[in-house]
Structure 1
Amino acid sequence: MSNADAYRVRREPFYQAQDNEVAHYEAAYAARLPVMLKGPTGCGKSRFVEYMAWKLGKPLITVACNEDMTAADLVGRFLLDASGTHWQDGPLTLAARLGAICYLDEIVEARQDTLVVIHPLTDHRRTLPLDKKGEQVEAHADFQLVISYNPGYQSLMKDLKQSTKQRFTAFQFDYPEAALEVGIICQETAVDRNISEKLVEIAQAGRRLKGHGLDEGISTRLVVNAAALIGQGVAPADACRMAMVRPITDDADVIDTLDHAISAVFG
């Protein structure tokens, strides 16, 4: 198995298209344009990237960005072992060499000085300078860079600079419409349509509280978690409290409001 094969998505991930984003991504990939996915937590951005990597038959290397991530974590560093010093590629460098899709998840969590290293890969140069090694990596013809972030968490301290944003084509994601979301829950879990509809009803009630006590709405991911608990025999109301309410807030008033909504739906 080649290095590239080790990063291929072997099984088709379930992804429910909401619009024409699949065709639009295929066009962006054909032009090798960098892609930016914007949308709330748990709305399907990462699943979409995984699905597109599978559909296109390309390896996928994912990096979960965080505030401690350095440029060396992305591009690589020299390591010392018993045999001496050797260079180890970081995930971004590896993706550029192999022709993989490199997915930087929640990129705004990374430090601004770290993000500068991606710039030469996102324009006509398609190169990655490895200053410490004295090498300039020419990106493989199949390489593509994809980033994601949640605009709801933007702040003056955590936002992408225009010099970074304008290097990407952008897709706006949101929670699915009710009928689509019900279908997703049924596909992803063992619960029936009636239960799925009730779970989505509660999720939508929670989303209406965004900005009114909740920083973030109840995501599709959390609805799937609740359905999975129900499939394991947990009472529906308890599953909703465990998976859809308690993880997203500690505010007693908001918890009380959502608990009342759960009781109204499930009795």
Structure 2
Amino acid sequence: MTETALCAPYYRAVGEEAHVFRAAARRGSPILLKGPTGCGKTRFVEAMAHDLGRELITVAGHEDMTSADLVGRFLLKGGETVWVDGPLTRAVRGGAIFYLDEVVEARQDTTVVIHPLADHRRELPVDRLGLTLPAAPGFQLVISYNPGYQSVLKSLKESTRQRFIAIELGFPPADIETEVVGYEAGIDVDTARILVTLAGRIRNLDGSPLREVASTRMLILAGGLVAEGLSLRSAVQAAMVQVLSDDGDLVRALGELVDATLPQT
């Protein structure tokens, strides 16, 4: 779980996403973020929470998550049983933004708990306490997933999807991505541009067997290694090539693409 930082998170808007988010927030409407891994979904939510002056509570969805992990449970403390709110309940009580990242990784019988919060009711049933909590003013429900990655068995149910306002995010245009990578990694613009060019070529590989492509997050990690004194080639090898695949042939193919993109030294 994370909370908003005191300083404004760095985010460069590409389209109308910030305007849509603010409008939805004014109405209390839940938001669904769609986009590839590492394109900036989490950073976008962090930036919007800061912009709106609201606490942000983030939870990563996973297959072992239960509704109690979100809502809360009774725990034994000091010889007595006490109720402890889960992150979702804390957000509902406190009027925070609750961000459930990679929602489809959680079991559907778990995520159904968010349904009453995602429609006109804006309430959270807490069955173990025998009560229903109305969402405090300012509460905002945000979920995200990567529609190009999950299998059919992990798709988002229509009964869930239709409750949300959707914002689709992707990798930014090259000039904006160069600016982001340079700023976040602390490297010069020419080095950032080379990394972005390489990422573009990896993303556009015909018939690519890669499950994931080079993300903006990955470029920032590579740039960070350069900022720490590694050569650009070593940084790319460690933060991109070796991360993208374990297949020897594919790693070699990526290496050839790196050779064709990076300046010769």
What TM-score results when the alignment is normalised by the length of structure 1? Answer: 0.95
Equivalent position to 2:126, from 125, 130, 137: 130
The corresponding residue for 1:199 is: 195
The corresponding residue for 1:89 is: 85
Equivalent position to 2:154, from 145, 153, 158: 158
Instruction: Check whether the contact 2:4–2:46 (CA below 8 A) recurs between aligned residues.
Output: no
The corresponding residue for 1:171 is: 167
The corresponding residue for 1:3 is: none
The answer as to 2:208 corresponding to 1:212 is yes
| RMSD (CA atoms) | 1.3
The answer as to 2:17 corresponding to 1:21 is yes
What is the letter of the counterpart of residue 27 of structure 2? A
Instruction: Check whether the contact 1:213–1:251 (CA below 8 A) recurs between aligned residues.
Output: no
What is the letter of the counterpart of residue 170 of structure 1? A
1:167-203 per-residue CA deviation (whole Å, 9 max, x = no partner) reads 1000111111111111111111221111111111111
Cα deviation, residue 216, structure 1: 1.2
1:209-240 per-residue CA deviation (whole Å, 9 max, x = no partner) reads 37521111100000000000001111101100
What is the letter of the counterpart of residue 88 of structure 2? L
Instruction: Check whether the contact 1:36–1:146 (CA below 8 A) recurs between aligned residues.
Output: yes
Cα deviation, residue 262, structure 1: 1.4
The corresponding residue for 1:52 is: 48
1:19-77 per-residue CA deviation (whole Å, 9 max, x = no partner) reads 12111110010111000000000000000000000000000000011100000000001
The corresponding residue for 2:71 is: 75
Residues 211 and 82 (structure 1 numbering): CA distance in 2 closer, same or farther, change over 3 Å?
farther
Residues 211 and 169 (structure 1 numbering): CA distance in 2 closer, same or farther, change over 3 Å?
farther
Equivalent position to 1:256, from 252, 258, 261: 252
The corresponding residue for 1:110 is: 106
* Counterpart-to-counterpart distance in 2, 1:30 and 1:155: 34
Equivalent position to 2:95, from 92, 99, 115: 99
* Counterpart-to-counterpart distance in 2, 1:194 and 1:81: 56
The corresponding residue for 1:148 is: 144
* Counterpart-to-counterpart distance in 2, 1:210 and 1:114: 38
Cα deviation, residue 9, structure 1: 3.0
Secondary structure in 1 matching 2:154: coil
Residues 37 and 249 (structure 1 numbering): CA distance in 2 closer, same or farther, change over 3 Å?
same
Structure 1 window deviating more from structure 2 (182-191 vs 64-73): it is 182-191
Give unpaired runs (5+ residues) of structure 1: 1-5
Residues 138 and 256 (structure 1 numbering): CA distance in 2 closer, same or farther, change over 3 Å?
same
Aligned residues: 262
1:97-134 per-residue CA deviation (whole Å, 9 max, x = no partner) reads 00000000111110010011000001111110111111
The answer as to 2:184 corresponding to 1:188 is yes
The answer as to 2:44 corresponding to 1:63 is no
* Counterpart-to-counterpart distance in 2, 1:56 and 1:210: 42
Secondary structure in 1 matching 2:172: coil
What TM-score results when the alignment is normalised by the length of structure 2? Answer: 0.96
What is the letter of the counterpart of residue 18 of structure 1? V
Instruction: Check whether the contact 1:42–1:219 (CA below 8 A) recurs between aligned residues.
Output: yes
Secondary structure in 2 matching 1:151: coil
